[in-house]
Amino acid sequence: MWKQHLGSLEKEKLLKQPKIFLKNADAATGSILLDQPGYYVLEEDIIFRPNPDNDYSPLPSQAKKYAMAFRLGFFAALVVTSPHVVIDLNGHTIRQHAEHALQQRFYANIELGPAPFIPKKGPADFAKHFTPIHHCIVMNGTLGLASHHAIHGNGCQNVLIENVKMQDWEVGSIGINNGTNIFILNCTIPRNRVDVPILGIYSAGRFLRQFLQGIIDSNALPSIQAKGRRLLESLDVEMNQVFVEVMETGKTTHPLFRNPSGCVDGNVYGIVIHGIGPAVDDLQLAPPVPEAKVIVIDHVHLGHIENDVREIVGLSYPSAISGTDTPATSDSYNNEVQHDAAGAVFQVELCGQGYTPNVISEAQLFVAKYKEFSPNGNKSNISQGVLDWASGTISWKQLWSQEKLQYIRNGDSMFHVQKGLMGIRVDEADQVWITNCTMDHLENRGHLGTVAYGDYKTSHPKQRQLGYQGGVVRGICISGSTNVHIHGNLIKTLKSHNSYIRGIDILNQSTVRLDNNQIDQMQLCPHMGNKWLTYFKDKAPSMLPHQVPNPLPTTEPLHISEDSTVYTQRADYLDLIIAVFCLFFVLYYIKK
């Protein structure tokens, strides 16, 4: 049983450390760095709104304290950089202020580590060296509004999250990559955020401002600097309009940024445990050596988790295409997408074939064109052909002929592989226990994937699951993991508006033991009533008979891939009966 591993936490020793008290004022000018061992106790709620007069960013005078890891803003209220830390919420709450949640689009209330990403990962370079933390407890309180996670960490070891309520996060309550001895016990996750006012493209604008300013401040020609200033001013005008509207009404009418449903427009997880690096690619294969070890999720309640996934169609980058005559509908290519300085997709569908500009596309193209004058970390990947097309030098038809482009689908605005909605996701792990948990109401409102550019089996270069996956709902998903125990869980009220549902999904060479789980109330296309099958036959013929790119909506309480192995309670009883029979046979033979 998993309880034998609890000793690794050294809980009693951690709880005897000297107490250090935290107040809201401690976070007024930036993240609170927990850089010394200790028992940290909240004396009041912390509502994180750092440096509003400096665009919620570190001041020049804070450059030493908030160095490379904070280059794109304050990514957490509490940043744990020391081992042997207890965070006692003491019945209080940590949450983002609404202003900061709008302007800082990747954020966790608590970051278990010195940076949000390990080196060479994420929208920028956040660390040259990364030292994971170990022996940490988070307990006894609430983690509220967060534009990404309630708790996030990389490489952390011996972590206990206990008696914590996590709500109004956008992407996931807990996201831990490459963790060892992670215990999530007696926690409540009652809801995620469903009043998100803006789409993912808004974060692209926030990131681009810094790269535009970098070119303006560089040694580029005055004409280049002047154009950069004009673009930045135009971008600021439109984004400030959004800010004012959202702060006054909770919504925006801006056609580029407005989120009509209020649900997150990308993948969402109640809890995600993953191997090394961010969980942005497809469900993982089993690694040679497990990258997450001893994971316990016990007596956790998840409820009312919703999303509304939007597929963002991208353009391939020409140098990465295999072959020169590959048709646009081919499944054979393996390439990158054209994206901006922070990794946001150049959304060609918003521009049309004749290139109708918007403030985001204009900034993306400019920052890519003058990449040499941009600060370190500019990851722009936009081809010269696209720059020429946008400037009117060549036509759309000439662009496609010249660069042999292809549409890339099944991705989101940051080119993450679409995977839909999952209550609990575990990848690349060994020795996992998911026990006595409840999941009630997981709903994916995502639309069908586009069929405008032909069928495909896989389109995104990191994709493994066939077809468009943005609308899928999974209660528990285990991929590339071994020695997994799923016992005594209740999974109910799963809804997908346009794709399939799996109560428990076991994939990619996993080995799992199942016992006494209940799965109930899986509902397809709830917005259509009984008309959904006729709709899919009439309106989405690409599903039948090949089921690509949009899989036919189906429900499966339990799905097991052919390369995975599952043991059930029934198998255990059968083994016991066989063993007893053999024992009696041996005794009878000896007696005889």
- pLDDT tens column, 134-185: 999 999 999 999 999 999 999 999 999 999 999 999 999 999 999 999 999 9
Which span out of 291-300, 372-381, 528-537 was modeled with the highest average pLDDT? 291-300
- Mean pLDDT to the nearest integer, 474-502: 97
CA gap 111, 81 in Å, rounded: 9
H helices of 373-511, in order, are 384-391, 396-403
Query: Is the pLDDT score of 12 beyond 50?
Result: yes
Angle at 142 between CA 138 and CA 144, to 5 degrees: 115
pTM: 0.91
- Identity (one letter) of the amino acid at 244? V
Confidence band, pLDDT 50/70/90 cuts, at residue 321: very low
On whether the CB atoms of residues 112 and 152 are closer than 8 A, the answer is: yes
- Mean pLDDT to the nearest integer, 388-396: 96
- Quick check: helix, strand or coil at residue 271? strand
- Exposed e or buried b per residue across 168-189, where buried means at least 16 C-beta atoms within 10 angstroms of its C-beta: bbbbbbbbbbbbbbbbbbebbb
Query: Is the pLDDT score of 546 beyond 90?
Result: no
User: Mean pLDDT for the chain?
Assistant: 90
Helix (H) or strand (E) holding 568: strand 565-568
- Mean pLDDT to the nearest integer, 414-428: 97
Q: How many CB atoms lie within 10 A of CB 420?
A: 27
> What is the token pair recorded at 74?
């304050």
CA proximity to 87, closest of 97, 77, 96 = 77
User: How far does the chain reach from its first CA to its final CA, in angstroms?
Assistant: 40
Write down the residue that tokens 């061992």 correspond to.
37
pLDDT of residue 165: 98
Phi, psi of 515, rounded to the nearest 5 degrees: -155, 120
> What is the token pair recorded at 11?
């809980």
Confidence band, pLDDT 50/70/90 cuts, at residue 490: very high
